[in-house]
């Protein structure tokens, strides 16, 4: 995945969290944490794949 795709996914995730915050703030907080953890795991996995 290139930088443009990663930034697009980050923007989509941020908008999803913002719109969810208007409906249910606790769900929004949980969603934000889950998306950040998923993105961190992806970046870690991707960096490990490129070094091997």
3-state secondary structure of 24: coil
Which residue spans within 1-52 are E strands per DSSP? none
Handedness of CA 18, 23, 26, 27 (dihedral sign): negative
- What pLDDT, in 10s, does the model give residues 5-34? 888 888 888 888 888 888 888 988 898 899
- Whether pLDDT at 52 is above 80: no
- Per-residue pLDDT, 47: 87
Residue 37 pLDDT grade (very low, low, confident, very high; cuts 50, 70, 90): very high
- Per-residue pLDDT, 41: 92
3-state secondary structure of 39: helix
Rounded to two decimals, the pTM is 0.70
Residue 1 pLDDT grade (very low, low, confident, very high; cuts 50, 70, 90): low
Contact call for residues 31 and 38 (beta carbons, < 8 A): no
CA atoms of 52 and 28, how far apart (whole Å): 36
């Amino acid at each position: 995945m290139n930088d443009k795709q990663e930034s697009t996914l980050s923007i989509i995730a941020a908008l999803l969290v913002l719109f969810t915050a208007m409906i249910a703030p606790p769900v929004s907080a949980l969603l934000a944490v889950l998306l950040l953890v998923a993105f961190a795991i992806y970046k870690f996995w991707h960096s490990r794949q490129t070094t091997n």
